[in-house]
């Protein structure tokens, strides 16, 4: 149950309502910044009808409430002039790890030439082996910020630990929560209090309900700018790095109002398959793609096998635009089918 209070309600009215809820000995969350109260469904909620400070009450039948489509139909927001969500589509691309200034400068110039608005790159890298390249840290953040400002790009980078929040916040436009941190509830709580978008990757073993409840942690802190990112899940089959769950994209559209993007790089683990899964994700309704691209993939210090070259990325971008155009015109006549046949 979500109770929305009127913006004209007084502090006295709010406190009186909160005291009444406390007397019921039920747990609830008061989100002062959004004038919302989130609580379990009450056995007897008739008394709420007499509360003049209440604007609306939304009953949900899911454990995640603020992320539910029953509460809100669609979410979109602006990131320095670029829209995320609704009918907007955004490409986010760049290397897995920030390695050198020249690498990021070259990548930023290339992405800008294609009209891409977001550059991604890791400054702090969670690696399975402690002996692998783990990023340049603060120097990496400074490098990608400098290039992004030069080419009018927005920075997407991973926040690994709550102790790095202030540092990453200063340089990033979107803070990415990696698969390993999807269940880091202290970090999610902290990100609920910031005023920048959070890109929440699906945990490698996470069910959809668990993923949406992780988003709920951020939303319940007052931060409405959450992006869900499907990046593949682990299964019994190791033929691919992960199993890219394309079917979860339309499912999430049915369950939640949050924008959904796909990461076919981690989803496949192989550059040769990134294009096919990119197109599939777009056709399935994704609001964007997160793709690893590198000036020289074979020399990449992190995830070299799944990084695509500039030429490959240009090809993917062209075909993505074709799929998007076909989706727009598909209901208007047979010409869109002819486009697909010649694709």
For 131-169, what is each residue's pLDDT tens digit?
787 889 999 999 999 999 999 999 999 999 999 999 999
pLDDT number for residue 135: 84
CB 26 within 8 A of CB 42: yes
pTM: 0.92
Residue with the larger pLDDT of the pair 306 and 44: 306
**Highest-scoring range by mean pLDDT, 46-60, 229-243, 286-300:** 286-300
**pLDDT grade, residue 343 (50/70/90)?**
low
DSSP string over 230-278: E--B--S--SSSSB--TTHHHHHHHHB-S-EEE-HHHHHSSHHHHHHHH
Element (H, E) at 3: strand 2-5
Q: Name which of 125-129, 277-281, 339-343 the model is least confident about.
A: 339-343
Residue 333: predicted pLDDT:
53
Q: What is the C-alpha to C-alpha distance for residues 38 and 192, in angstroms, rounded to an integer?
A: 15
177: its two tokens: 């929560």
Residue 338, pLDDT score: 54
In this prediction, residues 217-225 reach a mean pLDDT of: 96
């Amino acid at each position: 149950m979500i109770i929305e209070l009127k913006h004209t309600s007084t502090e006295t009215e709010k406190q009186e309502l909160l005291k009444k809820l406390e007397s019921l000995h039920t747990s609830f969350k008061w989100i002062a910044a959004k004038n919302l109260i989130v609580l379990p469904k009450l056995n007897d909620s008739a008394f709420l009808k007499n509360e003049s400070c209440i604007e609306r009450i939304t009953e949900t039948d899911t454990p995640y409430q603020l992320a539910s489509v029953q509460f809100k139909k669609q979410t979109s927001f602006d990131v320095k002039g670029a829209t995320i969500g609704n009918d907007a589509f955004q490409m986010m691309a760049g290397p897995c790890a920030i390695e050198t200034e020249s690498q990021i400068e070259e990548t930023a110039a290339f992405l800008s030439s294609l009209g891409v608005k977001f550059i991604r790159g890791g400054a702090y890298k969670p690696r399975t082996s402690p002996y692998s390249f783990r990023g340049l840290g603060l120097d990496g953040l400074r490098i990608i910020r400098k290039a992004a400002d030069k080419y009018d790009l927005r920075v997407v980078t991973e926040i690994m630990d709550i102790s790095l929040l202030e540092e990453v916040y200063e340089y990033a436009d979107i803070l990415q929560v990696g698969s390993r941190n999807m269940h880091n509830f202290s970090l999610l709580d902290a990100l609920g209090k910031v005023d920048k978008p959070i890109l929440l990757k699906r945990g490698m073993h996470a069910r959809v309900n668990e993923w949406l409840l992780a988003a709920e942690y951020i939303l319940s802190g007052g931060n409405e700018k959450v992006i869900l990112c499907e990046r593949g899940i682990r299964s019994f089959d190791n033929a691919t790095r992960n199993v890219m769950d394309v079917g979860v994209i339309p499912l999430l559209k049915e369950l939640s109002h949050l924008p959904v993007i796909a990461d076919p790089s981690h989803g496949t683990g192989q550059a040769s398959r990134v294009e096919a899964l990119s197109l599939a994700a777009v056709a399935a309704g994704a609001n964007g793609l997160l793709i690893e691209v590198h000036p020289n993939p074979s020399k990449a210090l992190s995830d070299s096998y799944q990084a695509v070259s500039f030429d490959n990325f240009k090809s993917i971008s062209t075909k993505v635009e074709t799929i998007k155009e076909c989706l727009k015109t598909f209901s208007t006549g047979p010409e869109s089918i002819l486009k697909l046949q010649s694709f």
